[in-house]
Amino acid sequence: MAVVKNIEIIAESKKSWEDAAAQGVKTASKSVKNIRSVWIKDQKATVNGDKITAYRVTMAISFELK
């Protein structure tokens, strides 16, 4: 039987929501091992004038405890 834990993080990118999610996993994997899945709970964008300047995702990361 595996024991899985969830944490919630917010990640940001200037490129896209997909890149924000990828950056979040990349950063989390530096301190969290055995990441199994992510759930994108929310997406937001920062706007300046008529342009999106940053994409943000709130994500739940699931990882297996060893």
pTM of structure: 0.87
Q: How far is CA 41 from CA 48, 50, 57, 61, in A?
A: 24, 25, 7, 10
Q: Does the pLDDT of residue 66 top 90, yes or no?
A: no
Where are the domains positioned within the chain? Answer: 3-65
What are 2-58's pLDDT values in tens digits? Answer: 899 999 999 999 999 999 999 999 999 999 999 999 999 999 999 999 999 999 999
Q: Tell me the fold of 3-65.
A: Dodecin subunit-like (3.30.1660)
Look at residues 44, 38, 39 and name the one whose alpha carbon lies nearest to residue 57.
44
